[in-house]
Amino acid sequence: MLRSLDGEVGALRMAEYDSPVPYLWLDATYVKCRDDDSRVCSQATVTAIGAFMDGAKRFVGFDLVDTESYDSWKGFLLSLRRWGVNGVARVVSDAHAGLKRAIAEVFPGAAWQRCMVHLQRDLAGRVRHKADRARIGRAVSEVMRQTDEAMARAAYDEAVRQVGAIDRRAGELLEDAREDALAHLAFPAEHWVRLRTNNVQERANCEIKRRTRAVHIFPSRESLLRLVGAVLIDINEAWEHGRFMTAPAMRRVMTPHATKPCEIGEEIRRRAEQIIADALASAA
């Protein structure tokens, strides 16, 4: 049984791809196992989910690393390149500095999207009062709800201003994250809800945690890789029955086109100001 499962997991880890993978989501979750010296340590299970030209999604790679460093992330991303993960136009992840640097080096030209949910968590970590954290989170959520590029950018501008009035450090973080948080606006509008967060990875991590929790501490790295691989195989099989995105929209991602600057009029700015003010007030 183990030999059969190891073969399936190995096939997943070494699968080769000959089609572009325009979108890539990256994340890590930690699981305890024993190392070669029988010491218990936390291993970072790093995973990559790709969206293909036909709109299907699947795990395109996973591995175990000791820590989420630049070197470990770069090694993992280079392994994806070796197995044919190319044509990447957008990578979605949290703002881990080493990961961002590795993405820029391994996938040059790919835009990076800062996960808006992780941004909300980072903002909450800078705010002292619980009530203010709820208000700021509501304001960012309102920005995410906008379906028009001009309104989304205007709402973000207003969120920076009004959040900064509540907490200076939170406002500065929101300002610094502007371009990376709004990077999804350069892609097809029907993809925005998928691109602005790493939720697809978060849900997969929850399933990994659920399945590994029963073991508590794995006796070896090999046993942990085996179970995680089995979980990802099950998820991939479930994903085969649907499409994450539409094929025509994916073709537009790979077709170069000229973009014009987004113009934001005074009426849109006034509406955005009211939207953010209402969001802050509703959470007060």
Where do the domains of the chain lie, and which CATH numbers do they carry?
1-114+198-241 (3.30.420.10), 116-181+266-284 (no CATH)
Q: Residue 141's pLDDT is what? A: 95
The percent of residues above 70 in pLDDT, for the chain, comes to 98
Give the residue ranges of the chain where pLDDT is below 50: none
Return the ∠ at Cα 101 (arms to 142 and 24), rounded to 5°. Answer: 60
* Contact of 262 with 153, CB cutoff 8 Å: yes
* Contact of 56 with 241, CB cutoff 8 Å: no
Q: Residue 257's pLDDT is what? A: 62
Q: Residue 228's pLDDT is what? A: 93
Residue 274: C-alpha distances to residues 87, 131, 134, 146, 232 (Å): 41, 20, 18, 13, 44
Question: What span, in angstroms and rounded, lies between the C-alpha atoms of 211 and 45?
Answer: 13
Question: What span, in angstroms and rounded, lies between the C-alpha atoms of 95 and 122?
Answer: 9
pTM above the 0.75 mark? yes
Q: Residue 163's pLDDT is what? A: 96
Report which residue type is found at 246.
T
Q: Residue 52's pLDDT is what? A: 94
Q: Residue 258's pLDDT is what? A: 56
Query: Tell me: the pLDDT tens digits for 194-215?
Result: 999 999 999 999 999 999 988 8
Per 3-state DSSP, what percentage of the chain is helix, strand, and coil (rounded to 5)? 55, 15, 30
**E strands within 35-115?**
40-51, 57-65, 90-93, 111-114
Cα torsion for 4, 8, 10, 11, to the nearest 10°?
Answer: 140
Q: Residue 256's pLDDT is what? A: 65
Q: Residue 37's pLDDT is what? A: 75
> 107, 24, 90, 89: which is closest to 60 by C-alpha?
24
> 93, 52, 96: which is closest to 70 by C-alpha?
96
Query: Tell me: the pLDDT tens digits for 46-86?
Result: 999 999 999 999 999 999 988 889 999 999 999 999 999 99
